[in-house]
Chain A
Amino acid sequence: MKKSLRKNIIREIIRTKSRFISIMAIIGISVGFYTGLRSASPSMKETARQYFEDQRLSDISIVSTVGFDDDDLQEIKHLDCVEQVMPSYSADLIITQENNDSVVRVFSLPETSDTNSEIVNEPVLVEGHLPLKENECVIEKYYLNMSGYHIGDTIRFNQKTENNDTADFIKHTEYKIVGVIDSPMYITYSRGNSTVGNGSVLFYMMIKPEEFSVERYTNVYVRTKASSSGLSDFSEEYSNMVNRHKKDIEGISDICVHRFNTTTLADAKEELADARKEYSDKKTEAEKEISDGEKKLADGKKELYDKVTEAEQKLADSEKELEDGKKELSAAQKEYSEKLTEAKQKLTDAQTQYSDAQTQYNNAKLEYDTKISEAQSQLDAARTEYNNQYMIFYSSTKPDADTKLSLMKVGIDSCNELLNKTRDEIEKLKSVEILTDEIQAKLDEQNEKLSQYQNQLDEYQKQYDESKQQLANGEKQLAEAKTKLDEAQSEFETQKAFGAAQLNDAENLLHSANAQLETGKLEYESAMTTGMMELQAAQTKITEGEQQIQSGRDELEEQKKIGFETLKLAGEKLAQGKYEAKTALEEAETKLNDAQDTISRLENAKWYVYDRDENPGYSGLTEDADRVDNIAVVFPAFFIIVAALVCLTTMTRMVEERRTEIGTLKALGYSDFDICAKYFIYALLAAVSGSIVGGIAGVFTLPDIIVSTYGIMYILPATVLVISWQSFVLSGTVGMLCTCAVAVISCLKELRIKPATLMRPKAPKPGKRIFLEYITPLWSRMNFTSKVTMRNLFRYKARFLMTVIGVAGCTALIVAGFGLKDSITLVADRQFGELTKYDQIYALKDSEAADKKSYLMSEFHQDKRFERVMLGYQGWTDVYYRENGKKLNLHMIIGENADEFEKMFILRERTNHQKITLNDSGIVINERMADVLGVKVGDTVHMTISDEPYECKVTGISENYAGNYLYMNQECYQNTTGKALEYNIVFTSVDDEYKDQQKEIANEWMKNDDIVTVSLVSEQLDSINDMLESLNFIVFVMIFCAGLLAVVVLYNLTNINIAERVREIATIKVLGFYHLETANYVYRENIILTFFGAVSGLFLGLFLSNFIIESIQMDSVMFPKVVAPLSYVYGFLLTFAFSMFVNFIMYFKMKKISMVESLKSIE
Chain B
Amino acid sequence: MMKNFVEFDNVYKRYKMGEVTITAADGVSFSIDEGEFAVVVGLSGAGKTTVLNILGGIDSCDEGRITVGGKDISHLSKHDLASYRRYDIGFVFQFYNLIPNLTAKENVELATQICRESLDADTVLDSVGLSERKNNFPSQLSGGEQQRVSIARALAKKPKLLLCDEPTGALDYNTGKTILKLLQTKCIEDGMTVVLITHNQAITPMANRVINMRSGKVISNVVNANPLPIDKIEW
A763 to B95, CA, bound (A): 12
Which chain A residues lie closer than 8 Å to B89 at the CB level?
A: 1072
Which of A791, A1070, A1161 lies in contact with B101, CB distance below 8 A?
A: A791
| Contact in complex: B85, A767 (CB < 8 Å) | no
At the interface, yes or no: B114 with Cβ under 8 Å from chain A? Answer: yes
CB proximity of A776 to chain B, nearest CB, Å = 14
Q: Mark A1057-1084, 1 if CB is under 8 A from B, else 0.
A: 0000001101111111111010000000
At the interface, yes or no: A795 with Cβ under 8 Å from chain B? Answer: yes
A838-887 contacts to B, CB under 8 A, are: none
At the interface, yes or no: B63 with Cβ under 8 Å from chain A? Answer: no
At the interface, yes or no: B33 with Cβ under 8 Å from chain A? Answer: no
Which chain B residues lie closer than 8 Å to A1066 at the CB level?
A: 97
| Contact in complex: A1063, B139 (CB < 8 Å) | no
Q: How large is the interface on B (under 10, 10 to 19, 20 to 34, 35 or more residues)?
A: 35 or more
CB proximity of A34 to chain B, nearest CB, Å = 39
B83-108 contacts to A, CB under 8 A, are: 83-87, 89, 91, 93, 95, 97, 99-103, 106
Given A765-B100, A1156-B53, answer yes or no on A1074-B79 (Cβ-Cβ < 8 Å): yes
Which of A766, A784, A1159 lies in contact with B109, CB distance below 8 A?
A: A784
At the interface, yes or no: B203 with Cβ under 8 Å from chain A? Answer: no
Given A1072-B83, A1072-B114, answer yes or no on A784-B106 (Cβ-Cβ < 8 Å): yes
Considering only CB atoms, which chain A residue lies closest to B109 in the complex? A784
A1156 to B85, CA, bound (A): 14
At the interface, yes or no: A288 with Cβ under 8 Å from chain B? Answer: no
Which chain B residues lie closer than 8 Å to A1071 at the CB level?
A: 85-86, 91, 110-111, 114, 153, 157
Which chain B residues lie closer than 8 Å to A766 at the CB level?
A: 100, 137-140
| Contact in complex: B101, A788 (CB < 8 Å) | yes
Given A791-B102, A1072-B86, A1073-B114, answer yes or no on A767-B138 (Cβ-Cβ < 8 Å): yes
Which of A787, A795, A1069 lies in contact with B106, CB distance below 8 A?
A: A787
Which chain B residues lie closer than 8 Å to A1162 at the CB level?
A: 95
At the interface, yes or no: B56 with Cβ under 8 Å from chain A? Answer: yes
CB proximity of A1148 to chain B, nearest CB, Å = 13
Given A767-B103, A1072-B114, A1073-B114, answer yes or no on A1159-B86 (Cβ-Cβ < 8 Å): no
A1156 to B59, CA, bound (A): 7
B158-173 contacts to A, CB under 8 A, are: 165
At the interface, yes or no: A764 with Cβ under 8 Å from chain B? Answer: yes
| Contact in complex: A784, B58 (CB < 8 Å) | no
Which chain B residues lie closer than 8 Å to A1075 at the CB level?
A: 78-79, 82
A526 to B53, CA, bound (A): 168
At the interface, yes or no: B113 with Cβ under 8 Å from chain A? Answer: yes
At the interface, yes or no: A382 with Cβ under 8 Å from chain B? Answer: no
Which of A784, A792, A1064, A1073 lies in contact with B82, CB distance below 8 A?
A: A1073
Q: Mark B56-92, 1 if CB is under 8 A from A, else 0.
A: 1011000000000000000000110011111101010
Which chain A residues lie closer than 8 Å to B53 at the CB level?
A: 1155-1156
A1073 to B86, CA, bound (A): 7
| Contact in complex: B106, A1070 (CB < 8 Å) | no
At the interface, yes or no: A3 with Cβ under 8 Å from chain B? Answer: no
B132-168 contacts to A, CB under 8 A, are: 137-140, 153, 157, 165
Given A1070-B91, A1071-B85, A1074-B82, answer yes or no on A763-B97 (Cβ-Cβ < 8 Å): no
| Contact in complex: A767, B82 (CB < 8 Å) | no
At the interface, yes or no: A768 with Cβ under 8 Å from chain B? Answer: yes
Considering only CB atoms, which chain B residue lies closest to A1068 in the complex? B110
A575 to B137, CA, bound (A): 124
Given A765-B100, A788-B101, answer yes or no on A1070-B137 (Cβ-Cβ < 8 Å): no
| Contact in complex: B56, A1070 (CB < 8 Å) | yes
Which chain A residues lie closer than 8 Å to B113 at the CB level?
A: 784
A787 to B102, CA, bound (A): 9
Which chain A residues lie closer than 8 Å to B93 at the CB level?
A: 1067, 1159
CB proximity of A689 to chain B, nearest CB, Å = 27
Which of B82, B95, B97, B165 lies in contact with A1072, CB distance below 8 A?
A: B82
CB proximity of B151 to chain A, nearest CB, Å = 14
CB proximity of B78 to chain A, nearest CB, Å = 8
Considering only CB atoms, which chain B residue lies closest to A1160 in the complex? B49
Which chain A residues lie closer than 8 Å to B110 at the CB level?
A: 784, 788, 1068, 1071
Given A1069-B82, A1072-B83, A1072-B114, answer yes or no on A1161-B103 (Cβ-Cβ < 8 Å): no
Which chain B residues lie closer than 8 Å to A792 at the CB level?
A: 101
A1077 to B114, CA, bound (A): 10
A791 to B58, CA, bound (A): 28
Which chain A residues lie closer than 8 Å to B58 at the CB level?
A: 1069-1070, 1155-1156, 1159
Which chain B residues lie closer than 8 Å to A788 at the CB level?
A: 99, 101-102, 106, 110
Given A764-B139, A766-B140, A784-B113, answer yes or no on A1067-B99 (Cβ-Cβ < 8 Å): yes
CB proximity of B154 to chain A, nearest CB, Å = 9
| Contact in complex: A1159, B97 (CB < 8 Å) | yes
Considering only CB atoms, which chain B residue lies closest to A766 in the complex? B139
CB proximity of A14 to chain B, nearest CB, Å = 13
A1161 to B169, CA, bound (A): 11
Q: Mark B24-65, 1 if CB is under 8 A from A, else 0.
A: 000000000000000000000000000001001011000000
Max count, chain A CB within 10 A of own CB: residue among B59, B82, B101: B101
A346 to B178, CA, bound (A): 175
A1066 to B83, CA, bound (A): 15
Which of A787, A795, A1070, A1161 lies in contact with B85, CB distance below 8 A?
A: A1070
| Contact in complex: A764, B100 (CB < 8 Å) | yes
Which chain A residues lie closer than 8 Å to B59 at the CB level?
A: 1155-1156
| Contact in complex: A767, B114 (CB < 8 Å) | no
A1118 to B22, CA, bound (A): 73
A1068 to B102, CA, bound (A): 13
CB proximity of A817 to chain B, nearest CB, Å = 38
Considering only CB atoms, which chain B residue lies closest to A789 in the complex? B101
A766 to B140, CA, bound (A): 8
Q: Mark A760-793, 1 if CB is under 8 A from B, else 0.
A: 0001111110000000000000001001100110
Which chain A residues lie closer than 8 Å to B87 at the CB level?
A: 1072
Which chain A residues lie closer than 8 Å to B95 at the CB level?
A: 1159, 1161-1162
Which chain A residues lie closer than 8 Å to B100 at the CB level?
A: 764-767, 1064
Q: Mark A338-360, 1 if CB is under 8 A from B, else 0.
A: 00000000000000000000000
CB proximity of B33 to chain A, nearest CB, Å = 25
CB proximity of B90 to chain A, nearest CB, Å = 9
A1145 to B6, CA, bound (A): 38
Considering only CB atoms, which chain A residue lies closest to B83 in the complex? A1072
Max count, chain A CB within 10 A of own CB: residue among B58, B59, B93, B100: B100
A768 to B53, CA, bound (A): 32
A791 to B85, CA, bound (A): 26
Considering only CB atoms, which chain B residue lies closest to A1073 in the complex? B114
A-B contact pairs, 28 of them (CB 8 A): A763-B139, A766-B139, A767-B102, A767-B138, A784-B110, A788-B102, A788-B106, A1063-B97, A1064-B100, A1066-B97, A1067-B93, A1067-B99, A1069-B58, A1069-B82, A1071-B85, A1071-B153, A1071-B157, A1072-B86, A1072-B115, A1073-B86, A1074-B83, A1075-B79, A1155-B53, A1156-B53, A1156-B58, A1159-B93, A1159-B95, A1162-B95
Chain A residues at the B interface, C-beta cutoff of 8 Å: 763-768, 784, 787-788, 791-792, 795, 1063-1064, 1066-1075, 1077, 1155-1156, 1159, 1161-1162
Q: A767-B102, A1071-B85 are in contact. List 8 more A-B contacts (CB 8 A).
A: A766-B100, A766-B140, A767-B103, A784-B109, A787-B106, A1064-B100, A1075-B79, A1155-B59
Which A-B residue pairs are the 7 nearest by beta carbons?
Answer: A1072-B86, A767-B137, A766-B139, A1072-B85, A764-B100, A1155-B58, A1067-B97
